[in-house]
Structure formats: C-alpha cells, structure tokens
Amino acid sequence: MNHLPTPADHADGFLRFDAVSRVYGSGPTSVRALGPITLDIHAGELVAIMGPSGSGKTTLLSLAGALDKPTQGRVLLHGSELSALSPDDCSRLRRQTVGFVFQDLNLLPGLTALENVALPLELDGVAQIEAHDQAREALQGVQLLELADRFPENLSGGEQQRVAIARAFVGQRSLLLADEPTGALDSVTGEIIMQLLRDHCGRGKTAVVATHNSAHAAWADRVLFLRDGELINESN
C-alpha cells in the first residue's frame, strides 16, 4: 500500500511541526537541540530560519525532511506524520517529495552538471532519457543550461551551488530544504541563489532555508528566529 502524502491531502498546513522536540542523549548529559516548537509552513512559502550556530536550524531541517525523528511531538507533511511512515515510504518521500541542499554540496566530481542533476531520478528508476530531459529543465530553472556538460571542478562555487539546487528541484519535488546554501558564497552570488529560491516558491513549491545572512533572509515570506532550540520571534 502506498502511504505517501499527496498535495491534495492537506492543502493548508503543508508542513506542520506540532509540539516538536528533539533531545540528543539522555539523563544529565542530554542536549535539547530543538523545541518544543509548533509551526505551520504553507505550500508556496519561502521561509528563512535564522539563529546563531547551535540554535537548532539543522535539526529543524532534518526533522522536516524525515532525516531524523522528533523525541516528542509530530512532524506532518501534507497531513501525514513522518514518524509513522514505513522505512520504504520514508525513503521514497526523501527521493520524490523532498530535495535537500547542504552547504557542502555533495556533487559527484565524476559526473557532469546534467548527470548530477539527473542522478536522483535515475536512482528512483526513471529512464535516462526522461531523467536527462527533466534535469535540463531543472538546470534551465537555475539559468545554467548552457553549462550542463561541465564537470563540477570547472564550475564556480556559485554555479556548483545552482547545480545542487537544480538537483534538489528536479522532478516533482514539492519541498526544498536548504542548510545555509549561501554560506560559502559572496554576497552577490548568495542573492542570486535566494532569488532562484524565491522564483521556485513563486511556482508553487515550498522552501525552508537556514541562513546566517539577514540580507538573504529578507527574500523570504517569513523569517523564523531560533535561539537555543526555541522559536523566539517571527517577522514577515
């Protein structure tokens, strides 16, 4: 049976944190990395998460993408509780619904930009011709189609970041999670990345982006501030 969430399941609270906490370890040495937090992110929103190092940004993104499970509370995507998914459904969700962009981009050096972007689809069983078509579309979306045949080492840092974003966009994924994607970039390149994410959300996709940079966060519909794992303020 297929328990994967679909867009029709839950139109409003696209991504919901319901009294979610994540505690590492137990007893006197335990660390409360996050929460409890309650949060609703809507389809089509671009949300920025700001906060000092250690404030829980990566933990929040990991929970949103089902890379980690809450100690307490529930994370719901399209109305489905992520912790309740079977391991198979969970990995399918990570392949088909959620795209990640990490600060160290994890581009494979032996593959061209196009092949890197097509890879998640091919791993998911999409035929190569179709996967490459969709990868070209995703590269077009980050204005990088002309560099599709370059290897990562022949791309600038900003271009590599755009390839990583295209890889996270590719196919029908509806949620993009980016962990400080502009961290290593100069400010102009960082702005371009944020603008691409802005455009992506304008096309009905949802993105949650951790950033240290308030100018970059200003591209978001909403900015959430974390401190010591707690949501301290919100602005829009």
Q: How far is the CB of 57 from ligand ADP (least distance, A)?
A: 3
- Strand arrangement, sheet containing 98-101: 98-101, 175-179, 206-210, 46-50, 222-227, 230-235
Name 29's Cβ contacts closer than 8 Å, sequence gap at least 6.
none
| Residue 83 or 96 with smaller CB distance to ligand ADP | 83
* Of residues 176 and 226, the one with the C-beta less far from ligand ADP: 226
Instruction: State in angstroms the smallest separation of the CB of 35 from Mg ion.
Output: 16
Binding mask 11-40 toward ligand ADP (x if CB under 6 A, else -) reads: -------------x------x-x-------
- Coil, strand or helix at 108: coil
Nearer to Mg ion, 78 or 216 (CB): 216
Task: Give me the torsion for CA of 203, 198, 61, 156, rounded to 10°.
Answer: 110
Tell me the C-alpha distance between 197 and 203, whole Å. Answer: 10
**From ligand ADP, Mg ion, none, interface partner of 65 (C-beta below 5 to 8 A by class):** none
| CB of 174 vs Mg ion, minimal distance in Å | 23
Query: In the stretch 37-66, what mask flags binding to ligand ADP with x, by CB under 6 A?
Result: --------------x-xxxxxxx-------
Structure tokens at 47: 């949300």
Handedness of CA 122, 126, 129, 132 (dihedral sign): negative
Residues that bind Mg ion (CB under 5 A): 57-58
Residues that bind ligand ADP (CB under 6 A): 24, 31, 33, 51, 53-59
